[in-house]
Structure 1
Amino acid sequence: MMMIIGGGVENRSIVKFSIEVFDYRFANVFNEAIKSLEFEIKSVEDVKKMQWETLEGEITTLIKVVKHCASVLFPGERKLCDSIFSENASIAVYLFSNLARAVVIQLLNFVDAVVQTNRSAEKLFKYLDMYEALRDVIPDINKSCSDELAAEISTSGDRIGEAAVHIFCDLENSIKGDAAKTPVAGGAVHPLTRYVMNYLKYACEYKVTLEQIFQKNKALVPSIKHERESPSHNQTGENSSSSPFATQLMTVIDLLDLNLETKSKLYKDPSLRFIFLMNNGRYIMQKIKAASEILQSMDDTWYRIRSSDVRQYHKNYQRETWGKVLQCLGHEGLQVNGKVHKPALKERFKNFSAMFDEIQKTQSTWVVSDEQLQSELRVSISAVVIPAYRSFFGRFRQYLDSGRQGEKYVKYQPEDIETMIEGLFDGNASSIGRKKN
């Protein structure tokens, strides 16, 4: 340590000795602190070679060390240093700043080494933990150390923030790259949907931090507008009040929507296609609604459009599946010269039973795991099918023969239809495993 120490030879010797003693003590205190916290200073190369599972634990310990240094070690040692060199304030400042910086640089080297490892989605949250730790200790560092040291910590934090932005934006590529060729059995919620929405839910627990780093790194956020089939979707992300992070959040969900639309085309049955889109759309909306941090980031128009999409999937399913069934229950063409034409009536009852049997057999294997959505579907089906069948049955059953001959055509009572509708969307696993869509 090169310093100019004034005074006589004896005084200079005392000061020099005091510096050496304090230097030695400071190193010991730091080493004891990291030992007690079970942290070991490692080289950049060693950090890069570590498996992520091991490195996660090291990062957790590093954060404890950083907080301990900023809130306990540095303030205590600064106070002692000022006391020892009370008559040489400039020496105290210079000495402590250099010793503290030597410690901090070791910790920041570890941080920088972590940032240099290969990026992957699961690393985001530990990166954010490190960013928050460095950001939050800066006020304490400013009090006990120099502004220059605080600036170095801030710069290291910025590098973490930049890496975190890249990781979050890489989620787009993960979604685009998920091109599964096999449809999910029964039209259930796709694993990609669960992964992305749970990832976003967890990420939004760091909402304030993510908004901060996205604001700082706006230039890194890809400016992409995704065209949707409906022109109304072009409004996504155009709200000038949306933060860069909120815009990116909506972009990710838009991409997920597009991916799911592509996956829906793997189903040959159009009705199952709409069940799949409805299941996944409802799951997305429920996750957004349940996570206040996500909901607060959403543009109102954007959210309403997606709610409308899910309702439209429901309508499309209803029309595709039950429209033809209801045609069997129409009265047109059943009378000839003012009298009921029995062969036509028999054909109508027969067609209705056959169609309903097929729907019940097929759609009881489909999956609607959201209880509210399952109930809404059954209620809406019952609301259109049961009154129509009850009316048709009540008016025309009397024209058919009683006994077994009549039962040949009239297979179900209205109450049977109600019971069978309640069995739809239960997702019988063994049936799903055998059925290909």
Structure 2
Amino acid sequence: MEAPGRDGRHGARRHGTSSTTTSGTVSSGYTSTSSRLSWISMEAARHFRELEMEDLEVVGPPKETASEKKMKQIKILAKEFFGAPSSAKCSAEGGDPSVLKRWLRELGVEWVLHVADGTLAPAEGLEHALDASSWSLALSEIVDTFHLASGLLPVHGSTEEQNMAEQLQLAGFTQQALLKMLTFVDSMVAPNLSCGIDWSLVLIGAPYKKFHTLLRLCEALRNALTEIQLPLHSSYSAEVATILGEIVDTLSAKEGKVREAIWNALEEIRTRILESPEDGQGSSHTQTPQGSSDVDETTKSVVKYAIFLEDYDSIMEPIVSEAASLGKYIPRVGEPPLISLRVEMVSCLEEKLANKSEAFSDQGLRFLFLLNNSFFIMDELRYALFFHESCKADLAGKVEGYMERFIQVSWAPVLSCLINPTPSCLGKNYSPLSKFESEFQKMYTTQKLLKVRYPDLRNRLRRAIIDKIIPAYTRYLADDYGNAPQKFSPSNLEEMLQELFEG
């Protein structure tokens, strides 16, 4: 009898007593040596028996794999759905919807059934429409289950006919689940429908959110198509192959609809961005004179949108290229279509910001607004592949220019009280020094409350102001203009200027 040892090899197991005859003379020490060898043999035998028992305990029946466990559960659901044993003919029309509902609930997407029958509540629709992650995961799980069903091995004692029928039943069940899942796609691509949500009444960024959801749906459908078209197991039947073809055709059609919806959404957002500046903000549409100089919400949305396009480059590139080949989109920058589209968006955004800034009555606020927004664009897109070095250099030059203009319109008049005082500048009862101190205090109080969100930009702007004000003020004091007592020392002024733009 062969028994496996710990290392997997087999050896003869021996029962009872056996003896071996050797030639030669037995020494006088035989008895003690023989006893020792006998004891060692007994210990070794006991040791090997213990190892054999350990091996028998470890081996046992094979454990059920996760795939096998999942297939067992799906088999039960499929049989319940069709309401017949596996050898019976499948009929999707007669399937039990409660069984399908149970599986979709386990997958976390029971809500797609409410999309299918039109009973999805608006709040619930918005929640799922803005986050398609659970839907994407469930779609992948269903496609994976279809492949497992196609490779189903015969159950012990079952006939080939029974096994093929069971395969067909499982394939039909997963197909029905897919069809329910895809009703969500139909709701998202339908114009102005989208799960019963009026997107115009949601948030100002709703078009971007819907666009993002469409991109994620397209990615999920593309991945599902790639997976479903992997070679099936060699044991699948012709009927299963037919179902596979139907699934591929359906997924391809849905992906085509989503791609079209993506282009339409892209055009809608691009049209808003590329509106003529006069359409949105001209002099007749001025904002509050003391409006915020912080980063504009439009800037945040457009930059986020441009980054979305890069994150989904593999999806967007063929869509935009197809639109360009059909004449729906004409690139203006001379780059590949998708890159050109992104660069155009950023360029148009800069134009719109410049136009919007004209609504500020305070020129200092105007240039600070442009400075904040331009720096935000430059910082957010510094790693974007489409944003070439020439684009970055051009924007960096604008940031420096806005900084200089801001200092010129806000701090140069303060400094002029010392450098080039005039009667109109000084007014009555004002010496150059006292006028400078008064204007400095006013500007300091105002700009201390302004917001520059990026520490690097904030420090650069402070340093530029300090380099302009402190040397001139120090020279004025050194030249001993007038004998009036000074209110601030140069170090006092520098400390105050280090407090600007905290918001």
TM-score normalized by structure 1? 0.71
Q: CA deviation at 1:246?
A: 2.8
- Map 1:6-155 → 2, pairs under 5 A: 20-21=88-89, 32-38=102-108, 39=110, 40-42=112-114, 44=116, 46=118, 50-51=122-123, 52-56=125-129, 59-72=132-145, 74-80=146-152, 103-116=177-190, 117-118=193-194, 120-142=207-229, 143-144=231-232, 145=241, 146-147=244-245, 149-155=247-253
Segment drifting more, 170-179 vs 411-420: 170-179
CA distance in 2, matches of 1:17, 1:385: 90
Amino acid at match of 1:121: Y
Q: Identify which of 295, 298, 301 aligns with 1:192.
A: 298
* 3-state SS of 1:20 partner: coil
What value does the CA root-mean-square deviation take over the aligned residues?
A: 3.9
Give the 3-state SS of the residue equivalent to 1:387 in structure 2: helix
Whole-angstrom distance in 2 between the partners of 1:307 and 1:49:
48
For the pair 1:418 / 2:499, whether they are aligned, the reply is no
Residue pairs, 1:264-343, within 5 angstroms = 264-289=357-382, 292=383, 295-330=384-419
Q: Give the equivalent residue in structure 2 for 1:394.
A: 478
The range that moved more, 34-43 or 267-276, is: 34-43
Which of 445, 449, 467 is the matching residue for 1:361? Answer: 445
- Tell whether the 8 Å contact from 1:188 to 1:279 is kept in structure 2 after alignment: yes
Q: Return the alpha-carbon distance in structure 2 between the equivalents of residues 58 and 365 of structure 1.
A: 38
d(CA) in 2 for partners of 1:198 and 1:23?
48
Percent identical: 20
User: Secondary structure of 1:187's partner?
Assistant: coil
Aligned residues: 373
Partner of residue 375, structure 1: 459
d(CA) in 2 for partners of 1:189, 1:61: 33
Q: Could you say which residue in structure 1 is the equivalent of 2:345? A: 252
Q: Which runs of 5+ in 2 are unaligned?
A: 1-83, 200-206, 233-240, 423-429
After superposition, give the CA deviation of every residue in 1:218-261 in whole Å (9 maximum; x if it has no partner).
Answer: 46896478xxxxxxxxxxx5142x4x333222233223222221
Amino acid aligned to 2:223: D
Q: Which moved more, 1:77-86 or 1:354-363?
A: 77-86
SS at match of 1:139: helix
Distance 1:79 1:160 in 2: 31
1:193-228 Cα deviation digits (max 9, x unpaired): 233334444554333333343334446896478xxx
The C-alpha deviation readout for 1:54-75, integer Å capped at 9, x for no partner, is 4438954443332122112x12
| Alpha-carbon spacing, 1:82–1:299, altered in 2? closer, same or farther (3 Å) | farther
Counterpart AA for 1:107: M
In the TM superposition, residue 49 of structure 1 has moved relative to its aligned partner by 7.0
TM-score (norm 2): 0.63
Distance (whole Å) between structure 2 residues aligned to residue 58 and residue 279 of structure 1: 31
How has the CA–CA distance of structure 1 residues 43 and 287 changed in structure 2, closer, same or farther, with 3 Å as cutoff? closer
User: 1:47 touches 1:110 (CA, 8 Å); kept in 2?
Assistant: no
The structure with more radius of gyration:
2
Q: Conserved in 2, the CA contact under 8 Å of 1:360 and 1:421?
A: yes
5+ residue gaps in structure 1?
A: 1-15, 226-236, 334-345, 428-437
- Structure 2: how far apart are the matches of 1:263 and 1:92? 67
Are the equivalent residues in 2 in contact too, given 1:165–1:220 (CA < 8 A)? no
Q: Greater RCO between the two (CA within 8 Å, min separation 6)?
A: 1
Higher helix share: 1
Retained in 2: the 8 A contact 1:85–1:91? no
Given that 1:366 and 1:426 are in contact with CA atoms closer than 8 Å, whether structure 2 keeps it comes out as: yes
1:238 maps to 333
CA contact (8 A) 1:183 1:263 kept: no
Match of 1:210 in 2: 316
Q: Partners of 1:320 and 1:224 in 2: how far apart?
A: 41
Letter in 2 for 1:214: V
Supply the distance in 2 between the matched residues of 1:364 and 1:274 (Cα, whole angstroms).
16
- CA shift, 1:79, in A, is 2.8
Counterparts in 2 of 1:328 and 1:17: CA distance versus 1, 3 Å: closer
- The aligned amino acid for 1:420 is M
- How far apart, in 1, do the equivalents of 2:130 and 2:374 lie? 37
Q: Tell me the distance in 1 between the aligned counterparts of 2:441 and 2:221.
A: 65
What is the one-letter code of the residue matched to 2:437?
S
Distance 1:359 1:75 in 2: 71
CA displacement 1:342-394 (0-9 Å, x = unmatched): xxxx8433443343233223322322222111111110111122112111210
Alignment partner of 1:167 is 2:265: yes
Q: Which whole-Å deviations, capped at 9, do the CAs of 1:22-77 have from their partners, x for residues lacking one?
A: 558x96786653242242535656178744324438954443332122112x1232
The alpha carbon displacement at 1:130 in A equals: 1.6
Summarize the Cα distance change of 1:76–1:418 in structure 2 as closer, same or farther, 3 Å threshold.
Answer: closer
* Distance in 2 separating the partners of 1:61 and 1:45: 20
Q: Which amino acid aligns with 2:140?
A: K
